[in-house]
Structure 1
Amino acid sequence: MSPSSKVRSKFLLFITSLFCLLGISLQTAVASRCVDATATDIRSFTLETFNRNIGLMTPEQLLTLSEKRVAIAGIGGLGGEALRGLVGLGIRKFSNADPDVLDKNNRNKQSLASERTEGRLKVEVASEYILERNPYAEIRSFKEGVREENIDRFLEGVDMVIDGIDVFAMGVRRQIFMKAHEKGIPVLTIAPLGRSVSVMLFRPDGITYDRYFDVNEKTNQNEHLLKFILGMAPGFMHRNHYHEQYLRMSEGIAPSYIGSTQIAAGHVVDIVRGVLLGNSEISSAPTSYQYDFSKMQVQKSHLAMGNRGPIQRLKLVVAREKFRRHFIDLPEEKQEP
């Protein structure tokens, strides 16, 4: 390194440290947080910046949340909007994974998507957004997404996982649930379905993903998707929300609605708060909730046998025929031993 390069590097390091001390973040990949920050700095910043949360929680609870790590698999409509809410909640430790870039068709429901960010990796834009609001954030970004070779690193030190995986990536979703269960980490999955939101919380001491949805490593991708949707929303309250002639599910494109993603993100924030503080009031799987906000109706379902129950099996037969209009490779009903 030349003398001029050394001087330039030292200058950049000095400027970065100065910005950190002033509580200002740099929108670069130099660092994911203010490296010279002390615990006192972080505590003071959290209590001052996010103080409007106090009253709905105690100062101690706010500080507790700031030390929890949340993993978000998929920084799309649900994951990206949930991330924004979690920053406001006081969460500052994130593990974010998504291999995709922001595109024009993301703008209908993803606040991170704009002219300025088009074509950029979602995890990079997400990191910049977090640091703009909290320079003391500690962010781990996985621009390759979640894979078998990095899933342990993705879940390292994580207190809770948010499932924001694309609805068609069922194999990756299953891997995350399995590994999180093995490591004792709760997983929250929320599905924006039409003008409704379906919620399920999987805890380490409860029913597993495979057991509830009745899937395994041999389950066909589309059959897996069908079982996931029917397991998430047994009442199928969203059945009349779609214009079927415009559905493009066979092309890997699902319709999405900003009203659903915004409401889903709000649910994520409060459920994360409750779980991480140990005072969550919602039931975990095999209980599910579906909220049809177009009718202001909520349905709570408890399927002790998951999709293996007789009523669910019957629903699957009916739903399978409906799905054939949009998928060409759904197999006949077949249960693995």
Structure 2
Amino acid sequence: MSHTFDYDIAFSRNIGWVTEAEQQIIKSKRIAIAGMGGVGGDHVLTLARLGITKFNLSDFDEFGCENTNRQVGATVDTYGQKKLDTMIAMAKAINPEIEFKTFPEGINEANTEEFLKNADCYVDSLDFFALEARKRVFRLCAEKNIPATTAAPIGMGTAYLNFLPGGMTFEEYFRLEGYSENEQYLRFFLGLTPAALQQAYLVDPSKLDLANKKGPSTTIACKLAAGVTGANVAKILLNRGDVIAIPYGLHFDAYTNQFKKTWRPGGNNNLLQKLAYKLAKRKMNI
């Protein structure tokens, strides 16, 4: 058994599911990931174990005790430490040859173009409430023909959407402009989860606190999101297999044992989405 790092040996167990030539393609690609918290940390480690060796990463935050239930980098030893530094150290422990371009100030108007430079795919891991940054990143991805993916950790499942070059854009799907901040949060959530599989077991809806920008979450959802993202990123990078893109989406819920392929032509302008928005807005007094 080898005790020194060798790329070909380290990722040899991938071979069979991908070819040796495809593994070398994966090795050459660069992934941009914004946010190193709940799903972001799991995305980095999953893609590092897939064999990705180039990352553009951003995060300005530190780990705290409140992150323990779901964020892979949050331990008693990392409380108070920068999430970005922690996740880089964990990824380098998997593959010391990984190269990182880092954005420790997070994503802003001045650095988003640089953040996406040379990226072969963007993986969205921004905080749910970071809508302005999210809109800016997805808009630039569309302009630069960069595939963009988001796998939302919802309850004990994940809802997955792909935005591919030449297809429907983030804004065309979610239609957020012209709405108040809380209305945009609601529209974003409903667009992520049109199947709403998680509703059956949400025991305390009051824990979704828009005013303080907090909501319930589980590590189960983060792990599922990372797995689904890793599979789809591989398919995108290798141009292999059917990649579901909006207005289609996927939602798998491990708690309810349900899987749905969703279709919302027109995005949040779809009649079903309009009805869901009207009912949810009334229920939440927005």
Distance 1:136 1:251 in 2: 40
Which of 205, 208, 215 pairs up with 1:254?
A: 215
Matched, 1:284 2:240: no
**TM-score normalized by structure 1?**
0.81
Deviations 1:165-205, CA, capped at 9 Å, x for gaps: 10111111111100111111011011111122100000011
| Deviates most, 310-319 or 181-190 | 310-319
Deviations 1:238-265, CA, capped at 9 Å, x for gaps: 1133212444333211111011111111
Quote the residue 1:221 is aligned against.
181
Distance 1:231 1:265 in 2: 19
Contact map agreement 2:182 2:210 (CA 8 A) in 1? no
Distance 1:247 1:232 in 2: 16
Which of 63, 66, 88 pairs up with 1:102?
A: 63
Q: Which amino acid aligns with 1:82?
A: H
- Three-state SS of the structure 2 residue aligned to 1:251 is coil
Distance 2:281 2:206 in 1: 18
What is the total number of aligned residue pairs between the two structures?
283
Quote the residue 1:234 is aligned against.
194
Q: How does 1:40-119 map to 2 (within 5 A)?
A: 45-119=6-80
Quote the residue 1:33 is aligned against.
none
Contact map agreement 1:47 1:63 (CA 8 A) in 2? no
Unaligned runs of 5+ in 1: 1-21, 25-44, 325-329, 331-337
Task: Give the C-alpha shift of residue 115 in structure 1.
Answer: 2.1
| Deviates most, 83-92 or 128-137 | 128-137
Deviations 1:131-190, CA, capped at 9 Å, x for gaps: 222121110111111101000110000000111110111111111100111111011011
| Deviates most, 239-248 or 105-114 | 239-248
Q: How does 1:78-227 map to 2 (within 5 A)?
A: 78-216=39-177, 218-227=178-187
Distance 1:50 1:213 in 2: 38
Distance 1:239 1:135 in 2: 42
- Three-state SS of the structure 2 residue aligned to 1:240 is helix
Unaligned runs of 5+ in 2: none
Distance 1:82 1:71 in 2: 11
Distance 2:192 2:94 in 1: 33
> Which has more radius of gyration?
1
- Three-state SS of the structure 1 residue aligned to 2:93 is helix
Contact map agreement 2:197 2:256 (CA 8 A) in 1? no
Q: Which amino acid aligns with 1:224?
A: Q
| Deviates most, 83-92 or 220-229 | 220-229
Which of 321, 332, 335 pairs up with 2:282?
A: 321
**TM-score normalized by structure 2?**
0.95
Distance 1:179 1:163 in 2: 13
Contact map agreement 1:72 1:97 (CA 8 A) in 2? yes
Deviations 1:197-248, CA, capped at 9 Å, x for gaps: 10000001100111111122x4322211111111111121111332124443
Contact map agreement 1:187 1:203 (CA 8 A) in 2? yes
Task: Give the C-alpha shift of residue 91 in structure 1.
Answer: 0.5
Task: Give the C-alpha shift of residue 23 in structure 1.
Answer: 6.6
Contact map agreement 1:72 1:161 (CA 8 A) in 2? yes
Which of 303, 309, 321 pairs up with 2:264?
A: 303
Answer 1 or 2: higher relative contact order, Cα 8 Å, separation at least 6. 2
Contact map agreement 1:195 1:241 (CA 8 A) in 2? no
Contact map agreement 1:271 1:280 (CA 8 A) in 2? no
Distance 1:161 1:272 in 2: 9
Q: Which amino acid aligns with 1:299?
A: K
Contact map agreement 1:214 1:306 (CA 8 A) in 2? yes
- Three-state SS of the structure 2 residue aligned to 1:249 is coil
Contact map agreement 2:26 2:52 (CA 8 A) in 1? yes
